[in-house]
Amino acid sequence: MVFLAPSPQRPLCGRCLRPQSTCICLWVRPTAHVVEVLVLQHPLEVHQAKGSARLLHLSLPNSQLHVGEVFAAPPWPMDGKHTLLLYPDTPQDTAPDLRAPPPLPPEWLRDPSRLRLVVLDGTWRKSRKMLYQSPALQALPRLALRDVPPSRYAIRKAHQPHQLSTLEATCAALGQLEGSGKDGGGRFQALLEAFDGFVAERAGLRADRY
């Protein structure tokens, strides 16, 4: 987690670490889940007002958020859990030093309570660079989303229409792993609806600047 020192000009919320004028705690929806979630956030995303990772972390009790760009060593504990990376099966481009991921063992998926899902929070370019520079991430089996739902994230541009926000992608992945359907099922619906409110609020704040 990242702790930012508050300034007299822009005091921060002690919970979401955002300026109090743009606090996101209103949209936090604590949501039960079985699979542990580890969000690795690119440093340039920390102060992004439109970012969804902090809202996701505050809403998922069994989650952690770490900030960094290069992970030479695994940032997760060696505790016997099965760790997998939320990432497409095939990157859109290749690099000579990019290690092919190991296959995802089917037996891992039989017990969601033993799973740890690693999620990269950043733009497509940033997350791709994080993967390329981090041998520990390249060594993980990957989980690719199936039947990706339409994105609700209208305030940030995506390279492809099916690219989701960190929050949306994680809810979809948890639903896929825990058998709750492609959109996270009923358990994640309240969080996704709160995310709609968060998006609308961010869009309103952006419009007020013009």
| Predicted pLDDT at 132 | 92
Which domain, by its residues, includes 58?
A: 29-85+109-208
Contact, 148 vs 160, CB < 8 A?
no
- Give the residue from 147, 149, 144 showing the smallest Cα distance to 168: 149
Note whether residue 1 is domain-resident.
no
Distance CA 26, CA 7 (A): 22
Note whether residue 4 is domain-resident.
no
Note whether residue 22 is domain-resident.
no
| Predicted pLDDT at 157 | 57
> Could you give phi then psi for residue 121, rounded to 5 degrees?
-105, 110
- With the CA atoms of 151, 188, 35 and 136 taken in that order, what torsion angle do they form, in degrees rounded to the nearest 10? 20
| Predicted pLDDT at 88 | 86
| Predicted pLDDT at 162 | 63
| Predicted pLDDT at 2 | 45
Q: What is the number of domains present in the chain?
A: 1
Note whether residue 66 is domain-resident.
yes
Note whether residue 103 is domain-resident.
no
Read off the amino acid at residue 205.
L
Note whether residue 65 is domain-resident.
yes
pLDDT in tens, the chain (210 residues): 444 444 456 788 988 988 888 899 999 999 999 999 999 999 999 988 888 999 999 999 999 999 999 998 999 999 999 999 999 876 555 566 677 889 999 999 999 999 999 999 999 899 999 999 999 999 999 999 988 777 776 655 554 556 789 999 999 999 999 986 544 457 899 999 999 999 998 777 544 443
| Predicted pLDDT at 152 | 72
Note whether residue 68 is domain-resident.
yes
Note whether residue 174 is domain-resident.
yes
Tell me the C-alpha to C-alpha distance, in Å, between residue 55 and each of 18, 81, 84, 163, 193. Answer: 11, 25, 22, 18, 13
